[in-house]
Amino acid sequence: MDRNALLAGGAVGVVLVAAVTAVLVPGVLADPTDEGPVRPGPVDVADVSITAGPATGETVTLGIETRIDHRRNPTHNVSVLVRAIDAESGLLTTTERVDVGTLTRDGEATATANLTVPREGGYDIEVLLFREAERVDQTEKSIRGVSAIKPPYLRSTTSFTDSEALPPVSFSIAEAGDDRTTLDLTATLENTGDDPAEDLSVTFVLRQAESNIVASRTTVDAGTIRAGRTESVDATATVPNDYNYYIDVVLLRDGVVIDSARGAANLDPTRTINVNETTEDVELRVDDFEDDGREATEEPDYEATRTESAAPGFGVVVALVALLATAFVARRWRR
């Protein structure tokens, strides 16, 4: 047989066997366009923002929004773990994991976690980005002064003024008696909101500076304060003379304290106080502050004493010594 014919027949046979095998066993031949397993696209944390959510008297909910940057190939099983760590103690307060899923488009995606923490102090917020079970990026942000986030019942646009020209609390002498003085008290409020403020009351408390004894307490209705207006609230108080007092004013709405301020009344001419001054020890008469409906009076205290009297001279002992000395001299003289 011709050699060329044999080679041609063998080649045809190989092609037929390959064709039959490809038909009977799919996938036995590699796809020339197949580049193997697809690598997931890169992801990282682009930015983190923190917002204040609902608050109660004890807790506040922080909204942690994480922006994730994704590029190129699809990335599966992306998740974000958010942790709140107490800034003072370093203890972990709470955590939350957010499943983002699969990212297919180039650009940014967002993941929001809500962390409820005690409404006090500050926190370090850690954000950890995961792809599958692998941590691929992380960042940290801090928040301080969480106690300033107030629940709805503590929020108010009305507060005491804060200026030297218009202090939050002031007083004048209405009547000065021998033992007690009547003061006219004035608290100044301002409404910085867009709506009128209603259901407000002001409590005036006068405390003796050194002892903190409450000498007078009175509450008056503040009425309605229009938007953008400043109004004053007046009251009177009668206190014992010759003492210095702190005047505490407390603004309440429906029984809830929403603001407070302090002033000073110096009725002791020998010493003065101010709201930022430390106290000192002074003589205190507690009966001056008795609330028995009558003025306190003082009566002198008499202490029983015994007086011994003696006649002028040297006394019995001296006389006896003199007598013995005289007898001794007389005896020597006789000798």
C-beta separation of 180 from 240 below 8 A: yes
CB atoms within 10 A of CB 43: 20
The whole model's pTM is what? 0.58
Same domain, 161 and 271: yes
State mean pLDDT over 105-112: 92
Give 308 or 259, the one with higher predicted confidence. Answer: 259
Q: Is there a domain that residue 140 lies in? A: yes
Same domain, 142 and 194: no
C-beta separation of 259 from 222 below 8 A: no
Q: Where does residue 242 fall: left (phi above 0), alpha (psi -120 to 50 degrees), or beta otherwise?
A: left
Same domain, 81 and 121: yes
Question: Which of 220, 217, 222, 273 has the alpha carbon at shortest distance from 248?
Answer: 217
User: How is residue 13 written in tokens?
Assistant: 């046979």
**Which range, of 85-89, 99-103, 134-138, 284-288, averages the lowest pLDDT?**
284-288
User: How is residue 107 written in tokens?
Assistant: 């650009």
State mean pLDDT over 141-156: 91
CA angle 21, 25, 30 (to 5 degrees): 90
pLDDT digits (tens, 9 = 90+) for 69-90: 999 899 999 999 999 999 999 9
Split at pLDDT 50, 70, 90, the class of 270 is confident
Q: Which domain holds residue 139?
A: 43-148
Mean pLDDT of the chain: 81
C-beta separation of 207 from 246 below 8 A: yes
Q: Is there a domain that residue 329 lies in? A: no
Q: Is the pLDDT of residue 277 over 90?
A: no
Q: Is there a domain that residue 196 lies in? A: yes
Q: Is there a domain that residue 297 lies in? A: no
Sort 333 into a burial class: Cβ within 10 Å, 0-12 / 13-18 / 19+: exposed
State mean pLDDT over 39-62: 92
State mean pLDDT over 171-195: 93
Q: Which CATH number is 63's domain given?
A: 2.60.40.10
Same domain, 130 and 230: no
pLDDT digits (tens, 9 = 90+) for 58-69: 999 999 999 999
State mean pLDDT over 251-257: 91
Q: Is the pLDDT of residue 157 over 50?
A: yes
Show which of 119, 148, 177 is a domain's final residue: 148
Split at pLDDT 50, 70, 90, the class of 274 is confident
Q: Is the pLDDT of residue 290 over 70?
A: no
What pLDDT is stored for residue 307 in this prediction?
38
- Please tell me the distance from the alpha carbon of residue 13 to that of residue 247, in angstroms, as a whole number: 112
Split at pLDDT 50, 70, 90, the class of 309 is very low
Split at pLDDT 50, 70, 90, the class of 279 is very low
What pLDDT is stored for residue 276 in this prediction?
60
What pLDDT is stored for residue 133 in this prediction?
86
User: How is residue 43 written in tokens?
Assistant: 């992801």
Same domain, 144 and 160: no
Same domain, 136 and 173: no
State mean pLDDT over 250-278: 83
Q: Is there a domain that residue 22 lies in? A: no
> How many domains, the chain?
2
What pLDDT is stored for residue 195 in this prediction?
92
